[in-house]
Amino acid sequence: MRIDTTRFAVSKNERIRLEKHPTKVDAFYDSNDDYDRILTQHVERLRDLQQLLYAANEYAVLVIFQGMDAAGKDGVIRHVMSGVNPQGVQVFSFKHPSATELEHDFLWRETACLPERGRIGIFNRSYYEEVLIVRVHPDILRAEGIPADGHADAKFWQKRYDSIVNFERHLARNGTRIIKIFLHVSKSEQKRRFLERIDDPSKNWKFGTDDIRERQKWSAYMQAYEVCLGATSRRLAPWYVVPADDKRNARLIVSQVLIDTLSALKLRYPVVDAARRRELLAIRRQLMKLES
């Protein structure tokens, strides 16, 4: 059964109200075994499509993951990309910018990490933090050395959205297809996962005091996401609001989005011309004459 992912896509300039977007929907699997079966099918299909992407060498695919802490970004990346050739995938996780990165514009550090043609690039967080965490914590702008006039007014943020849209439009024109995933987790589910990280010694490393401080700004983050998603979702760089309370369901939805995007490229393996075919046949004859 193919999952219809269009229901999770955000339209251009859509007025998003995340409270009206469910964090959990009916499962696309009947049991744990059924989930394993479907995910395996998706992973195998992604493996074949990634190989075709690499061979065709026409497009690159960039997948951006955003979400609140404990939304499941690492798990989705690990499970969905588990069967793809590591040589064809690049994963980057962006933390607090370094002193050198702060001396450049807010898109600079991610630009150097963009995927090459034939590859899938994955950003675990991204330049979108510059209109999310920076909007929730406008004092961060002072560290970026931006001229103080009009720092945090509506026009300032609109200009950042415009910069992002123009940047992604440029990438799309040059053959990069962009998929943006917002893993939509509920506040109660985040609490449950935080408690699990505290109670399980093997997960203690995943939890920090910053997580609690950011949780206290939940409403501000939801408002920042609502504006950002509608302002920056475009046909060639769409946002998907993926219900993330059920981790298995989220993985199936994300893998289907990837399959649909890669399939829509209608890639073909390179066609060998007559001269190259004669060359290969000559090499084959030589190999057949050689001893095993």
Looking at residue 140, its pLDDT comes to: 86
Looking at residue 150, its pLDDT comes to: 54
The β-bridge partners of 179 are 63
The 8 Å CB, 24+ separation contacts for 150-153 are none
Percent of the chain with pLDDT over 70: 98
The per-residue pLDDT for range 80-96, each reduced to its tens digit, is: 998 888 889 999 999 88
| CB-based contact 229:239 (threshold 8 Å) | yes
How big is the CA angle at 223 (ends 220 and 228), to the nearest 5 degrees?
125
How far, rounded to the nearest angstrom, does the alpha carbon of residue 162 sit from its chain's CA centroid?
20
| C-beta neighbour count of 221 within 10 angstroms | 19
Find the mean pLDDT for residues 133-152: 79
Percent of the chain with pLDDT over 90: 78
* pTM greater than the 0.85 cutoff: yes
pLDDT band at 151 (very low <50, low <70, confident <90, very high): low
| CB-based contact 129:64 (threshold 8 Å) | no
In this structure, of 131-135, 142-146, 218-222, the range with the lowest mean pLDDT score is 142-146
The set of residues, in sequence order, having a beta carbon less than 8 Å from that of 176 and lying 6+ positions away, is 59, 60, 61, 62, 114, 115
Q: Which is higher by pLDDT, 159 or 208?
A: 159
User: What's the Cα-to-Cα distance from 292 to each of 249, 264, 287, rounded to whole Å?
Assistant: 50, 43, 9
pLDDT band at 277 (very low <50, low <70, confident <90, very high): confident
**Which superfamily does CATH assign the domain made up of 5-289 to?**
P-loop containing nucleotide triphosphate hydrolases (3.40.50.300)
Looking at residue 210, its pLDDT comes to: 87
pLDDT at 152 over 70: no
Find the mean pLDDT for residues 95-104: 88
Looking at residue 39, its pLDDT comes to: 97
In this structure, of 183-197, 202-216, 233-247, the range with the lowest mean pLDDT score is 202-216
Looking at residue 149, its pLDDT comes to: 58
Query: How far is residue 61's CA from residue 175's CA, in Å, rounded to a whole number?
Result: 8
pLDDT band at 292 (very low <50, low <70, confident <90, very high): low
Looking at residue 62, its pLDDT comes to: 98
The per-residue pLDDT for range 25-70, each reduced to its tens digit, is: 999 999 999 999 999 999 999 999 999 999 999 999 999 999 999 9
The per-residue pLDDT for range 170-200, each reduced to its tens digit, is: 999 999 999 999 999 999 999 999 999 999 9
**Tokens of residue 226, six digits:** 């609502």
**Within 13 Å and on the Cβ side, how many CA atoms surround 126?**
24
Provide DSSP, 106-141. TTHHHHTTPPPTT-EEEEES-GGGGGTHHHHSTTHH
